[in-house]
A and B are shown apart, each in its own frame.
Chain A
Amino acid sequence: MSGYQGKKNIPRITSDRLLVKGAKIVNDDQSFMADIYMEDGVIKQLGENLIVPGGVKIIEAHGKMVMPGGIDVHTRFQMPDRGMVSADDFYQGTRAALAGGTTMIVDHVVPERGVGLMAAFNQWREWADSKSCCDYSLHVDITEWHKGIQEEMESLVKDHGVNSFLVYLAYKDVFQLSDSEMYEVFSVIRDLGAIAQVHAENGDIIAEEQRRILDLGITGPEGHALSRPEEVEAEAVNRAVTVANQTNCPLYITKVMSKSSADVIASARKKGAVVYGEPISASLGTDGTHYWSKNWATAAAYITSPPLSTDPTTPDYLNSLLACGDLQVTGSAHCTFSTSQRAVGKDDFTLIPEGTNGTEERLSLIWDKCVVSGKMDENQFVSVTSTNAAKIFNMYPRKGRIAVGSDADLVLWDPDVSKIISAKTHNLSVEHNIFEGMEVRGGPLVVISQGKVVLEEGVLHTTEGCGRYVTRKAFPDHVYKRIKARSRLTELRGVPRGQYDGPVCDVAPSPKVMSATSTAKTSPTRQQKQQQQQQHQQQQQQHHQQSAAQPMRNLHQSGFSLSGAQVDDNIPRRSTQRIVAPPGGRANITSLG
């Protein structure tokens, strides 16, 4: 219980006892038949013929699946936008989440520039503590970059249980960070043991395209999609992957909306990059053709960034990548605005507030698109809706698994129930649902959150403000084991050489580009201590080489001989760079030589 941030209302749930009988328990690794006994919001016993106190409430599962409750890793409830607030607050939002089988949400703290991370974080805590109906945690977005921000990040990681920060590559002149800033932020994140999240779109190009599209007289929602083509998303993903590789920082791409950006993530993973991709309900369930709807309000309801792809084969493609493990986690990026709020941009698509619904539909949608269609099995379904999120953000096995000691957040899942999504019946306060009319198979029968039944027979029994803040420790194993191994490998070292003593050209003092720190350096010969070994097979050679004396010699004498062997042949090639070939080798074009 030490992880809980002292909430006064914890005692309220201590007397809850619950037994789920005859369930098929589905974890990410296996499924098995067992009963589950919960007490005080924690799973106490798992097995058959459990000995439990009398008078316990019993739920008969009749062999149906019981899974860990979903974790929606990306929500934006109650998000302020230019004086407005997104339509679903923490109460309405978490109710919708629970109704769909999600028992934990992770919301994004978006500090206004100049406000500071800590102040914004506290504000969000206050909002969520007073209203959230399920457990929650918080990502913090970095919307500006300076020394003070770095200190606040440190304090958030060390004292407030935050281990993920999002940077924006879009929203020029508002949230957007430059490549240099991204490099610095990622370096700090890596040192703190957190995860770098990225909103990946090239804001510079978008700004240019927006201007061009408006100049063409295109002011409606279709302009949103036209000004943000998927290449611009893929470019930013590629850049973020590059920076993350350079800084050896784990990367998490929020909102994977297009095939191209999913492809970039998949190929980066094949090259060994530590990168995770998060498609959202909207990109898995629908596409961007609706931006051309003649009904302005319908078209505007689909506005989100990166936009839904106008290629209608996108959802299927993303579901396939989710099934094969190239994409790992799913969120909803739930951020809803009413039609009158959207109408702020009725004459200019760049002003339309962005965000779509999806927290309620997420589980059913993925079940329908992936499990029913045979792309994945029920265990993998649990991975992508719950377990992987818990692992990446260091909440596993407390969340994301049915095991003794884990939180009693469970869903009794009915794979046969069929439902038509509609704005008329959803648990949201907005007029449009982007999945309107879609028939999905699979849905929650019973939802248990904190050991209490919150959904039964189609009726929600939620308590406003009972959600607890879940702290997350730094250095999640799932992510950082590889990062740590690599930082041991990537020590760089200079080549010990004699001082160059030949002639030196006189030149005008440097117009050539360089960092200010580059002048007063000494030669690498005193770096011996730093020269840690990189690879086992090279150790011997390097020891040999380092212990060799370095007499002055004529540096103009060529080291070449005509036979092809060279004076420096004994030097290992590149001791410090990883060469990671994709599994299965390069494409066969290379085999020609």
Chain B
Amino acid sequence: SLGHSSSERLLIKGGRIVNDDQSFHADIYMEDGVIKQIGDNLIVPGGVKTVEANGKMVIPGGIDIHTHFQMPYRGTTTVDDFNQGSKAALAGGTTMIVDHVIPEPGSSLIEAYDQWKQWADEKSCCDYALHVDITHWDDSVKQEVETLIKDKGVNSFQVYMAYKDYYQMSNKELYEICSFLAEHGGIAQVHAENGDLIAEEQARMLQMGITGPEGHVLSRPEELEAEAVFRAITIASQTNCPLYVTKVMSKSAADVISQARKKGNVVFGEPITASLGTDGTHYWSKNWAKAASFVTAPPLSPDPTTPDYLNTLLASGDLNVTGSAHCTFSVAQKAIGKDDFTQIPEGVNGTEERMALIWDKAVTTGKMDENMFVAVTSTNAAKILNLYPRKGRVAVGSDADLVIWDSDSVRTVSAKTHNSEAEYNVFEGMELRGAPLVVVCQGKIVLEDGTMHVISGSGRFIPCTPFPDFAYKRIKARKQLAVLRAVPRGLYDGPVSEFSPMSRGGTPSASARTSPTKPPVRNLHHSGFSLAGPTTPDDIPIRPAGRRVMVPPGGRSNITSLS
């Protein structure tokens, strides 16, 4: 599939290259979809197409790390397929997407993966990779996950803590999945919402006669999102597995993530275009179709200060990557749930608006600089997916996915002009400063002078390899530290009470164990205490070797300094 781009040569002159670490002026020469030279006064073949950047910024193309193009839903499909979706992405300056494969519970992961890959190969206009969602868990799924990691180029798997009795995983399953992924170098992604509580709340809302889209947000308060994030972090930390929280929609969930990061957890948070750009007050719109177009899960927070807060955390590095979770349905599809909000198909648009929105909300407001902008829209995603520096950087040898960014252009978002098939746009009427002037994908110009030149099916599948350094360096170091060991003791030889053998919640296999060593028998009733002070046996460190004790930077709050 590389053939069509092999003869393309392109020179961008006079641009200011913006990577996540620095910005500098240089020309860029590309050939065969790869950046060949960077510098001043480059020697290039004659007749090369030249784009004059006139000092404008040249940034690595965006990576939309979360899309649901062409997603099947109860016999229908989301309105933006891989062609339409990737076209919208390119129009906004995103040159790579990562779509979620969602196997039906009980069906094969690999079959679903093949199906998605076939759809994307046929239609996608830009490079893509795939996350695979784990919708059920047993030994065969385990093997498929291993195959996907080893042979199929997938390194990230999403599990659902919501959608009770359908996709939802129990804590035990989460624990097993995280352990398994940690062992094989995968990233555990979670859709974090407490599905049990949502089911209870949904039943309550419907009983109260609340059937409209406002019921969606009322039955999914942000605490339920925060709770699930907290639980996922606990499990990931127990299993020493890197965690990635998809769709950070609320302040509370973001707070939980940033606190966990301060305690040293390896966790990444992904706010999406919608949560960075709008809020959940629209669920109360009197226009049913409009209200329904905002339905996504976790829902947009009804707290209107949320987008600003999330943009701030993105700027401070507490949240790391941005996606769009682009998953659009027509009004007729949303209307499946016209009498019952629980039946409304979930998803919002955002792949086209993502870059401009973040530029407008975070860079023009001075929350972040252009380098940080590149980090959160492209570089960090590439690092987590283990595609760096092939993607996410303007450097010799990297893919020629570039955007010439015009920081002064102002556009108004509207469903009338967007590249999505959906009738509604959740950012309708929003004025955004900053937009792509030229988009280069695989070394070819796909957007110029406001016109798109895309080729359906030109997108390549980009395999992701396991153990990305960005996440796993720390995990590996911790694994070495976290060796647990038993205390060598004499055998207890005192009296033992009679008891009924029923176990109290321990494991069934717990009975026939022996102690690790057998040193000489001694009087175990002899107290090890002395009145003088602590009774620590002198050859054992007080702190068990395997436990990390981490204090947040800056120490605990000052209440403890009282003593």
Contact = CB atoms under 8 A, between A and B. Distances in A.
Interface of A: 81-84, 170-176, 178-180, 183-184, 202-205, 207-211, 213-214, 216-220, 222-223, 225-226, 229, 231-232, 234-235, 238-239, 242-243, 245-246, 259, 289-299, 310-313, 316-317, 319-321, 323-324, 326, 338-341, 343-344, 346-348, 350-351, 373-375, 420, 423, 431, 436-437, 492-500, 502-508, 510-515, 517-519, 521-524, 526-527, 530, 555-564, 566-568, 571-574, 576-577, 579, 586, 589-590, 592-593
Given A81-B504, A208-B176, A500-B335, A530 B209 contact: yes
Contact of A568 (B286, B547, B549): B286
B507 A214 contact: yes
Given A204-B170, A517-B206, A246 B284 contact: no
A84 B499 contact: yes
B3 interface: no
B459 to A, nearest CB: 28
Interface string B484-525: 111111111011111111111111011111111000000011
Contacts of A291: 544
B209 A295 contact: no
Given A179-B197, A214-B509, A259-B556, 16 more contacts: A171-B505, A178-B196, A234-B234, A320-B559, A338-B497, A500-B338, A505-B76, A512-B74, A514-B199, A514-B343, A517-B206, A530-B208, A559-B290, A573-B281, A592-B367, A593-B309
Contact of B313 (A214, A223, A561, A589): A589
A515 B491 CA distance: 54
B537 A294 contact: yes
B285 interface: yes
Contacts of A321: 559
B238 A172 contact: no
A590 B258 CA distance: 13
A347 B515 contact: yes
Given A217-B516, A521-B339, A558-B290, A348 B497 contact: no
Interface in B287-339: 287-291, 302-304, 308-309, 311-313, 315-316, 318, 330-333, 335-336, 338-339
B200 A562 contact: no
A504 B544 contact: no
A180 B287 CA distance: 34
Contact of A210 (B315, B506, B526, B536): B506
Contacts of B280: 574
Contact of B559 (A214, A296, A324, A514): A324
A339 B271 CA distance: 54
B1 interface: no
A434 to B, nearest CB: 10
Interface residues of B, number: 142
A199 to B, nearest CB: 12
Given A208-B176, A217-B516, A555-B289, A504 B507 contact: no
B412 A562 contact: yes
Interface stretch (B107-115, B219-227, B348-356, B466-474): B219-227
A214 B282 CA distance: 53
B303 to A, nearest CB: 6
Contacts of B75: 506-508
Contact of B201 (A207, A246, A339, A557): A246
A217 B486 contact: yes
Contact of A511 (B166, B530, B544): B166
A507 B494 contact: no
A494 B204 CA distance: 13
B70 interface: no
7 contacts: A84-B498, A210-B506, A216-B484, A292-B544, A324-B559, A497-B291, A526-B209
Contacts of A522: 209, 211, 339
Interface of B: 73-76, 163-168, 170-172, 175-176, 194-197, 199-203, 205-212, 214-215, 218, 221, 223-224, 226-227, 230-231, 234-235, 237-238, 280-282, 284-291, 302-304, 308-309, 311-313, 315-316, 318, 330-333, 335-336, 338-340, 342-343, 365, 367, 412, 414-415, 423-424, 428-429, 484-492, 494-507, 509-516, 524-531, 535-537, 540, 542-544, 546-547, 549, 556, 559-560, 562-563
A293 B342 CA distance: 55
A439 to B, nearest CB: 8
Contact of B487 (A176, A242, A294): A294
Given A174-B505, A295-B527, A573 B74 contact: no
Contacts of A203: 505
A242 B197 contact: yes
B484 A347 contact: no
Contacts of A320: 559-560, 562-563
B327 to A, nearest CB: 14
A211 B507 contact: yes
Contact of A211 (B231, B286, B309, B509): B509
A583 B271 CA distance: 26
B286 A497 contact: yes
A351 B510 contact: yes
A500 B340 CA distance: 12
A513 B164 contact: yes
**Interface class of chain B by DSSP:** loop
A375 B561 CA distance: 10
B76 A493 contact: no
A326 B201 CA distance: 30
B72 to A, nearest CB: 11
Nearest to A526: B209
Contacts of A235: 230-231, 234
A512 B343 contact: yes
B341 to A, nearest CB: 9
A173 B207 CA distance: 32
Given A208-B175, A502-B332, A577-B221, A507 B285 contact: no
A45 to B, nearest CB: 39
B288 to A, nearest CB: 4
A502 B288 CA distance: 10
Contacts of A184: 200
Max count, chain A CB within 10 A of own CB: residue among B163, B231, B497, B503: B497
A351 B556 contact: no
Contacts of A319: 563
A374 B561 CA distance: 12
Given A219-B486, A310-B544, A517-B206, A573 B535 contact: no
Contacts of B238: 205, 208-209, 229, 231-232
A229 B550 CA distance: 13
B551 to A, nearest CB: 9
B221 A340 contact: no
Contacts of A527: 208-210
Nearest to A569: B281
Contact of B514 (A180, A226, A347, A513): A347
Contacts of A346: 491-492, 496
Contacts of A174: 504-505
Max count, chain A CB within 10 A of own CB: residue among B282, B529, B547: B529
A505 B336 contact: yes
B214 A507 contact: no
A242 B200 CA distance: 13
Contacts of B224: 242, 246
B171 A518 contact: no
Given A297-B494, A503-B331, A589 B503 contact: no
Contacts of A351: 503-504, 506, 510-511
Contacts of B76: 505, 507
Contact of A574 (B226, B302, B543): B302
Contacts of B235: 205
A341 B492 CA distance: 12
B547 A229 contact: yes
B492 A297 contact: yes
A338 B490 CA distance: 19
